[in-house]
Amino acid sequence: MYSTDSFSYKNRKFSTFASDFDGFTFSQMFTQVFDDACDQGFELMSARTGKKVKVTLSKTHKREGDITHWEFLPYGDDSFDSLIVFND
């Protein structure tokens, strides 16, 4: 689980850089979100309210064979549109 404090927020989108995740390769940090489905993602907790939201991987963006960023969408929540993690 990650706090919203770890992300920037603008225009209903959260964003951050993969290197902000404690030295782990970011793709190692997200896991299967639901027991009965193959969706991958993680849980995001609001630093302000404590509310938890699952985000699921929507798309892995690549350029010239390298991952540029991952795009996640909130599951069952409409308080934000997406979450982007840039691969730096």
Question: pLDDT tens, 12-68?
Answer: 999 999 888 765 555 566 776 767 767 788 888 999 999 999 998 999 999 999 999
Question: pLDDT tens, 71-88?
Answer: 999 998 999 999 999 988
**pTM of the shown model:** 0.84
Position 60 scores a pLDDT of: 92
Position 12 scores a pLDDT of: 96
Contacts of 16 (CB under 8 A, 6+ apart): 6, 7, 8, 84, 85, 86
